Amino acid sequence: MRKLIFRNTLFHSKYSSFRRKSFLGLKRLKPLTVNTFFQKRSLSQLRDFTSLTSNETIQQFSWTTMLCLFFGVPLGIYLYKCTVLTLFQNKLIYMPFLPWDGRKLPFDESLIDKRLACKQVTVETVDKCKLAGIILTKLGEEEADDVRNRDDVPVMIYFQGNAGNMLLRLPLFSRLLLPPTSSISNLNIAAISYRGYWLSTGSPSEYGLQKDSIAIYEFVRKLFPKNPLYVYGHSLGGAVGLYLASQPNIQKDLRGIIIENTFTSIKDMVETIYPQNWLPYKYLVRLPFVLWNKWENSRLIQEITIPILFLSSRNDEIIPQEQMLKLYKLAEKSEKKVWVNFDKALHMDTYTHRGYVETINKFINETK
């Protein structure tokens, strides 16, 4: 571009007056006069625009860019992480979509062991959510309905963890009910999913799951009006179970509660998962308006007086065993508390280890 302008300028300045004949030879053109002053001025402006020759301009550009990169990018990432933790905490805590077909897996009787009687049920909450679940019992010499209607048969309300659905817990239920392990004789299991889990409607939250637990209890008690009633909660389900058992009117009706690998609070879990001082999470959750999912189990367990069975995995890779130990120490009002440690167990496979079924069976027999 600069060469082209220079060439035009040189040509018109050297040959500022020239004549051309018309094609028909009619008339000569007037001399062409070119003002080279404006062209030279344009060249000078173009040269100044395309060339950063000023040290002041380069220095100003470099410092501004460096300050934006040094402070702006980390600050933007920091604010982004704070926003995600605050606004999307329900998505981070409750994961009904894991595994990816967890919300769409249909109830299929072929998944149920032939030695079990399984019935699909629906529970409606006070805010019109419909909770999908199953009720299982072991088939024996008597008809399944007769076994379920016996008043001496214990009933266990099972609350699951934060991912998956109740059909994925069928191996656990089979382990409790069926041989060759020391299965529990004549036990009914009510496994009903929270809102937003499996085939249930609604979206999960702490307040929503608390309402679900009460609706599930009322449904089960209506179905089994005189049977000994127990609550079993794994991980997040332990928090749901502790909330239910902390309700005075409901606590009087329960024979005991079993919690497996449960945390002390959501705040403590955030600080456990993100212990680094340079991350914003551990400081953010200390603000009172940030967390609306708190699950303060360390406070609720101090209000429980019924027997409690603690099932703890030493090698739990998600919830440190120290949190279960803290809950055990805080359960001072419980009339009977039992601690059972599984040395080689992880967060999800406690039921596969030796002594699991025997421990639960013994606890039920001693408290019913």
Q: Would you state the pLDDT for residue 141?
A: 55
CA distance 164 to 339: 27
Q: Would you state the pLDDT for residue 39?
A: 57
Q: Would you state the pLDDT for residue 117?
A: 93
Residue 1 has pLDDT above 50, yes or no: no
Minimal CA–CA distance to 257: which of 318, 327, 344? 327
Q: Mean pLDDT for the chain?
A: 85
Q: What is the mean pLDDT of residues 185-208?
A: 96
Whole-angstrom CA distances from 141 to 29, 137, 336 are 121, 13, 34
The angle formed by the CA atoms of residues 197, 201 and 204, to the nearest 5 degrees, is 55
Whole-angstrom CA distances from 348 to 156, 168, 206, 311 are 19, 12, 22, 12
In this structure, of 86-90, 97-101, 144-148, 251-255, the range with the lowest mean pLDDT score is 144-148
Q: What is the mean pLDDT of residues 198-219?
A: 97
CA distance 234 to 189: 14
2: tokens are 């600069």
Residue 21 has pLDDT above 80, yes or no: no
Residue 149 has pLDDT above 60, yes or no: yes
How do the domains of the chain map onto residue ranges?
A: 109-366
Superfamily holding 109-366:
Alpha/Beta hydrolase fold, catalytic domain (3.40.50.1820)
CA distance 295 to 263: 9
Render pLDDT for 101-130 as a digit per residue (tens, 0 to 9): 888 888 888 889 999 999 999 999 999 999
137: tokens are 């019992």
Name which residue leads in pLDDT, 309 or 73: 309
How many CA atoms, within 13 angstroms, populate the side-chain half-sphere of residue 244? 32
Q: What is the mean pLDDT of residues 293-313?
A: 97
- Pairing mode, strands 188-192 and 130-138: antiparallel
Q: Would you state the pLDDT for residue 78?
A: 72
Residue 156 has pLDDT above 80, yes or no: yes
Q: What is the mean pLDDT of residues 225-230?
A: 96
